[in-house]
Amino acid sequence: MTDVTPLIPAGRQVVDSYGRNGFHVSGVAYEGAILVTAEATVAWPVGSLAEITLDSLSPLFDRGIEILLLGCGARMAPVPPALRAALKAKGIVVDAMDTGAACRTYNVLLAEERRVAAALLPAG
């Protein structure tokens, strides 16, 4: 039998689970929205897609992030063109999807040692 579980280096922030009210990342519970990078997970004071701005994402800048996965909650929603363009100008490609898909994709890209971050709204 072949193990297909992603191998993630020790000390990396891995999304363990997600739910209606929050997340578990590397064994720590977080309530509400979060920003996750390989090195750190922080609370993100955003309650909805409408509240996401370039400024709200600023903790991710200057970290060498190339890919930002935006977990939109229960359903995927489009990224406003101005926000997408502003992130692109910083060298960051943004991909929006439902929160579950964003969590899974983040873990896979992390295992591939990609420069990825996730901005996650709770799934409920």
51-63 tens-digit pLDDT: 999 999 999 999 9
Distance CA 102, CA 69 (A): 6
Rounded (5°) CA angle 48-50-86 = 120
pLDDT of 124 > 80? The answer is no
Alpha-carbon 111 to chain mean position: 14
Number of structural domains in the chain? 1
Question: Partners of 17 in the beta sheet?
Answer: 24
Task: Report yes or no on 56 lying in a domain.
Answer: yes
pLDDT at 4 over 60: no
Domain limits for position 49: 15-120
Average pLDDT over residues 78-103: 96
Task: Indicate whether 3 belongs to any domain.
Answer: no
What's the chain's average pLDDT?
92
